[in-house]
Chain A
Amino acid sequence: MKSYQQIISGNKRTDRTFVVIGLLVLLIAMLTLVALILDLAIQGLPRLDWDFMTNFPSRRAARAGIMSAWVGTTLVMIVTAALAIPLGVAAGVYLEEYAPKNWITDIIEINVTNLAGVPSIIYGLLALGLFVYGLGLGQTIQVAGLVLALLILPIVIVSTREGIRSLPQSMREGSYALGADQWQTTVRYILPSARPAILTGSIMGLSRAIGETAPVITIGALTFIAFLPPSPVQESVPFINFDWLESPFSLLPIQMFNWISRPQADFHVNAAAAGVVLLAMTLLMNSFAIYIRYRLRKVL
């Protein structure tokens, strides 16, 4: 028969083994990521300069740039964020705070979760049929923004709900006890407290959207385009215009994919440089979210 001492030291050994395995797994994941980023950076960074950012695509690798691609990606992400975040948060709040608990809500919940697993090309086909042909919106920035917003909507909804669900019930009860109604409770207490989770979910969604190619190729994103969409600001009243929503566009991942499949090695370097820019844009988005979270926490 084992003594307690033996049992305890055995369990401790299991603990230590698990920590070592966990560290190893983490190390493998991190090393792969670091290797990928380093490889991209070593190849791409020397190619990055002002000209590369401000030139249009060209048949000569040394003259080619990503102007139309990064502008397209930025504008599409603005549309995506403007649509997906308000809609996703509103849907999440409704499902968590307002929806009656019955079988219809259950079905909606199951479907929202399932939607997160639908391959992105399916969204592309839906958008092609519905937005491009059905509603006649054309192969434009607004359609790309719409389809990517649909794609990440489940991520935003689910993370909003997780954030709300983790709040203690006592918070709501305290608010009601002070005489607040449900709307006041939601807007003044629930949403601000769930904000970190909502921001994290939104950034996860946008980071996924920024790298997507399949759905945007389906709806007609271009590979060569040597002009920019009309500027969103103008000199005359009302100073902003939305013509750019109707513009044809290209995106960074599409430009990368085109370059990487070219025969000339110089284009592969261009693809790596475009990859660095894409990575930088994703990190920029992330740090923006962290900044907002930090600012708002101070206010609260």
Chain B
Amino acid sequence: MKAVSILMSAALGVTASWSAMAQQMVRIDGSSTVFPIIEAVAEEFQIEYRGNYRVTVGVSGTGGGFKKFCRGEVDLTNASRPIRNEEMALCVENGIDFIEMPVALDALAIAVNPRNDWVDYLTIAELKKMWEPEAQGRINNWNQIRESFPDRALELFGAGADSGTYDYFTQAVVGREHASRGDFTASEDDNVLVMGVANTTSALGFFGFAYLDENRNKLKPIPISYQGGAPVLPSIETAKNGTYQPLSRPLFVYVNAAAADEKEAVRKFVDYMLDPELAAELVKEVGYVPLPLEAYEMAQAIFKNRRLGTVFEDGSQIGVSIEDLLQMEGGR
């Protein structure tokens, strides 16, 4: 009997009360990297407007999020890289206009084991030598990277190929998105990478800044030299002032423009998310690098004026400092 009644009500479809509730609901999906930020915003937002609006956040990854977003299934999607051309084509096909807004910065930290006493810094060229596709099976020893390095096996740990983190790292280091050697230890869970590097003397790995920050006693961060510049350590300051290049990256939220026009909840949520002081505080609390206040003000203006489309029409760009980003956003 129970099964019958359940099947019956399943067949009846969405009831009136639920479609009314959907009006007040903000549906969000996307990147697991951006998730902690949006979780924090959603939490505060629902406390602030208790009972009036509801927020749901899923984690389908940057790519999965764009798929749902461009089908119109969610109002917002989080992305750890800008939208790709083929994803944009899907949006166009379904008539989805979107607004792109940076919400925070993340620095990709390069770290080795604390017992590693030979690496003082690395250049991007040296990192490329380790990670490019041609290195597969050939570059297996630290002394192949720099002559002064000892004869120790080189063991690499990095984000899995499905993540936006991997996409950005390969773009920044190898020069081509999604191109790297395949013979490294990959995991979608950064904690696994941290454990790997912490337990292997001759290891090197890359992961989000928050994972370095929480594991300072187990990891040794490596300063990175870019285009012959002085080596720079990853930190909130160096990411914010744009000196930690090219491994700091902006994180984005994309908003469905039609949903923003139709749903009060979506408008309220985006306004709340971009409130400069609150955003900076929440972003910092969950371990990411906040944008400068004027960047949030600029994002507010982008949203208010409903400026559609992306500034990254050629895909992810490396070495984008906040000033560049603001100029790109402002120049539209």
Within 8 A of B (CB), among A230-271: 230, 242-243, 245-248, 258, 260-265, 268
Q: Are B57 and A265 in contact (CB under 8 A)?
A: no
Contact partner of A86 among B3, B15, B40, B60, CB < 8 A?
B3
In the complex, A82 Cα to B5 Cα: how many Å?
10
**Is A73 among interface residues, defined by CB-CB distance under 8 A?**
no
Nearest-CB distance from A87 to chain B (Å)? Answer: 8
CA distance A263 to B207 in the complex (A): 10
B67-80 CB mask vs A (1 if < 8 Å, else 0) is 01000010000000
Q: Which of A138, A258, A262, A268 has the most CB of B within 10 A?
A: A262
Partner of A59, one of B10, B189, B282: B282
Could you tell me if A79 and B6 are in contact, using CB atoms closer than 8 angstroms? Answer: yes
Give the interface SS of chain A, mostly helix, strand, loop or mixed: loop
Are the CB atoms of A243 and B15 closer together than 8 Å?
yes
Q: Which 10 A-B residue pairings sit nearest by Cβ, starting from the closest?
A: A242-B9, A224-B57, A59-B40, A263-B214, A263-B210, A261-B189, A263-B211, A223-B59, A222-B58, A82-B3
B199 sits at the interface (CB 8 A): no
Name A68's closest neighbour in chain B (CB-CB).
Answer: B56
Name the contact of B43 in the complex, choosing from A58, A79, A82 (C-beta under 8 A).
A58
Known contacts A58-B43, A242-B9, A264-B214: does B35 contact A247 (CB below 8 Å)? no
| Cβ contact within 8 Å between A243 and B10 | no
Number of A-B contacts defined by CB within 8 Å: 104
Determine how close the nearest CB of chain B comes to the CB of A178; give it in whole angstroms: 30
CB distance from B64 to the nearest CB of A (A): 9
Give Cα A260 to B32, complex, Å: 12
Are A136 and B32 touching (Cβ within 8 A)? no
Q: Is B331 located at the chain interface by the 8 A CB criterion?
A: no
Q: A82-B3, A142-B10, A242-B9 in contact; A258/B59 too (CB < 8 A)?
A: yes
Contact A242 B35 (CB under 8 A): no
Residue numbers in B under 8 Å from A220 (CB-CB): 29, 58, 60, 68, 73
Are B190 and A261 in contact, CB atoms less than 8 angstroms apart?
A: yes
Q: Which of B13, B18, B42, B73 has a CB less than 8 Å from the CB of A226?
A: B42
Contacts of B208 in A (CB 8 A): 263
- The answer to whether residues A247 and B18 also contact, given A59-B36, A223-B59, A264-B214 and a CB cut-off of 8 A, is yes
Number of interface residues of B (CB under 8 A): 45
Encode A60-100 as 1/0 by CB contact (under 8 A) with B.
00000000000000000001001100110000000000000
* Closest A residue to B210 using CB positions: A263
Residues of chain A within 8 A (CB-CB) of B287 are: 263-264
- Report if A230-B6 is in contact (Cβ < 8 Å); known contacts: A258-B59, A261-B32: no
Q: How many residues in A have their beta carbons less than 8 Å from beta carbons of B?
A: 39
A183 beta carbon closer than 8 Å to chain B:
no
A128 to chain B, nearest CB (A): 11
Chain A nearest CB from B32 CB (Å) reads: 7
Q: Are B40 and A227 in contact (CB under 8 A)?
A: no
- Complex formed: what's the CA distance from A82 to B3 in Å? 5
A138-160: which have CB < 8 Å to B?
138-139, 142, 146
Across-interface contacts of A245 in B (CB, < 8 A): 6, 9-10
Known pairs A223-B58, A246-B18, A263-B214 / 8 extra A-B pairs, C-beta < 8 Å: A59-B286, A138-B14, A222-B56, A230-B18, A258-B35, A261-B190, A263-B208, A265-B214
Instruction: State whether B39 touches A57 (Cβ < 8 A).
Output: yes
- Knowing A245-B10, A246-B14, A264-B214, the reply to whether A224 touches B32 (Cβ < 8 A) is no
Say how far A257's CB is from chain B's closest CB, in angstroms.
9
A226 to B41, CA, bound (A): 12
At the interface, yes or no: A221 with Cβ under 8 Å from chain B?
Answer: yes
Which among B6, B17, B68, B191 is the interface contact of A260 at CB below 8 angstroms? B191
Q: Decide if B18 touches A137 in the complex (CB within 8 Å).
A: no
Enumerate 27 A-B pairs (CB-CB under 8 Å) in ascending A order.
Answer: A59-B39, A59-B40, A59-B286, A79-B6, A83-B3, A137-B10, A139-B73, A217-B59, A220-B58, A220-B73, A223-B35, A223-B39, A223-B58, A224-B57, A225-B56, A226-B43, A230-B18, A243-B17, A245-B10, A246-B14, A246-B18, A261-B189, A261-B191, A262-B36, A262-B191, A263-B213, A264-B210
Are B43 and A223 in contact, CB atoms less than 8 angstroms apart? Answer: no
In the bound complex, residues from chain A placing their C-beta under 8 Å from that of B188 are 261
Task: With both chains docked as a complex, state the minimum distance between the C-beta of A263 and any C-beta of chain B, in angstroms.
Answer: 4
B15 surroundings in chain A (CB, below 8 A): 243, 246
Q: Which residues from B are CB-within-8-Å of A263? A: 190-191, 208, 210-211, 213-215, 287
B95 to chain A, nearest CB (A): 18
| Residue interface bits B1-30, CB-to-A below 8 A is 1, else 0 | 011011101100111011000000000010
Q: Is the CB of B57 within 8 A of A230?
A: no
Residue of chain A at shortest CB distance from B15:
A243
Q: Which of B123-165 contact A (CB under 8 A)?
A: none
Point out the residues of chain B lying under 8 angstroms from A56, CB to CB.
43
In the complex, A293 Cα to B271 Cα: how many Å?
Answer: 57
B 52-68 binary contact with A (CB < 8 Å = 1; else 0): 00111111100000001
Query: How far, in angstroms, from A223 to B15 measured CA to CA in the complex?
Result: 24
* Nearest B residue (CB) for A229: B18
User: Chain B residues near A138 (CB, 8 Å)?
Assistant: 14
- A82, B6: Cα distance in complex, Å: 8
Q: Closest A-chain residue to B7, C-beta based?
A: A83
How many angstroms between the C-alpha atoms of A258 and B38 in the bound complex?
Answer: 14
Interface string of B259-284 (1 = CB under 8 A from A): 00000000000000000000000100
Tell me which residues across on chain B come within 8 A of A268, comparing CB atoms: 191
